[in-house]
């Protein structure tokens, strides 16, 4: 699965990109129909502490799944967004199978 990472108004380092790739790639083990994913990283200037935003869109046949989480670090925001998408994928998989 192709993971496309975009950062708004800053440059991500290789370590953060590898971390995000690893987390998002794990979702393909839950549902084999994933076509790709788009990760957008932003910094919220208005918020003091939890100003890191991670938005993840998973492309699957039919429609997309989306999660947006905000936290103190991009790693934590990514973790919570991936967990939310994991739950959405499990629900989608059950719906497709007719459970």
Tally of CB atoms within 10 A around 47: 12
Query: How far apart, in whole angstroms, are the C-alpha atoms of residue 19 and residue 5?
Result: 11
Burial class of residue 11 in the structure, from the number of CB atoms within 10 Å of its CB (0-12 exposed, 13-18 middle, 19+ buried): exposed
Query: How far apart, in whole angstroms, are the C-alpha atoms of residue 32 and residue 40?
Result: 23
pLDDT at residue 42, as a whole number? 94
The fold of 2-97 is Double Stranded RNA Binding Domain (3.30.160)
pLDDT tens-place string over residues 41-89: 999 887 677 899 999 999 998 889 999 999 999 999 999 999 999 999 9
Residues 6 or more apart whose Cβ sits within 8 Å of residue 40: 6, 7, 8, 54, 55, 56
pLDDT tens-place string over residues 11-25: 999 999 999 999 999
pLDDT over threshold 90, residue 31: no
**pLDDT band (50, 70, 90) for residue 99:** low
């Amino acid at each position: 699965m192709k993971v496309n990472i975009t950062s708004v108004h800053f440059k991500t380092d290789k370590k953060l990109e590898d971390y995000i790739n690893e987390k998002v790639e794990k979702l393909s083990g839950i549902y084999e129909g994933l076509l790709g994913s788009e990760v957008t990283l932003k910094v919220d200037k208005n918020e003091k502490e939890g100003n890191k935003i991670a938005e993840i869109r998973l492309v699957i046949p039919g429609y997309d799944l989306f999660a947006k989480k905000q936290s103190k670090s991009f790693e934590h925001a990514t973790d919570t967004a991936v967990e939310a998408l994991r739950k959405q994928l499990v629900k989608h998989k059950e719906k497709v199978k007719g459970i």
